[in-house]
Amino acid sequence: MGYKTVYTEVEVDVDLSDFETEDLIDELENRGHLTDSDSKELMETIYQKRRLGQDYQQELDKLIYSAIGRIL
């Protein structure tokens, strides 16, 4: 008897509350999104630069990209 590999596409409705938070975080980290500590570091840098009246656009762009994957 021979074997065949078949590829198919299936649409499934999934409720994210069915997944553990740690599993979702692991998946985001595996996809290359910033970790929580990286995001906090960027926000701290943005805060400090804004407080001092310095340009923080580059850090803000990084934070936006990490959150939604888009560049303005």
Q: Does 25 score more than 80 pLDDT?
A: no
In the structure, what pLDDT confidence band is assigned to residue 22 with cuts at 50, 70 and 90?
Answer: confident
CB hemisphere CA count around 46 (13 angstroms): 14
Residues 18/36/60/54 CA torsion (nearest 10 deg): 150
Residue 24 to residue 28: CA distance in whole angstroms: 6
The single-letter DSSP state of residue 21 is: H
pLDDT at 35: 64
CA 68/CA 41 separation, integer angstroms: 17
Residue, of 47 and 66, whose pLDDT is higher:
47
Q: What is the pLDDT of residue 69?
A: 75
Range of lowest pLDDT (40-49, 51-60, 62-71): 62-71
Q: Does the structure show a pLDDT above 80 at 6?
A: yes
**Rounded CA separation 25/38 (Å):** 13
The domain segmentation of the chain, as residue ranges, is 35-72
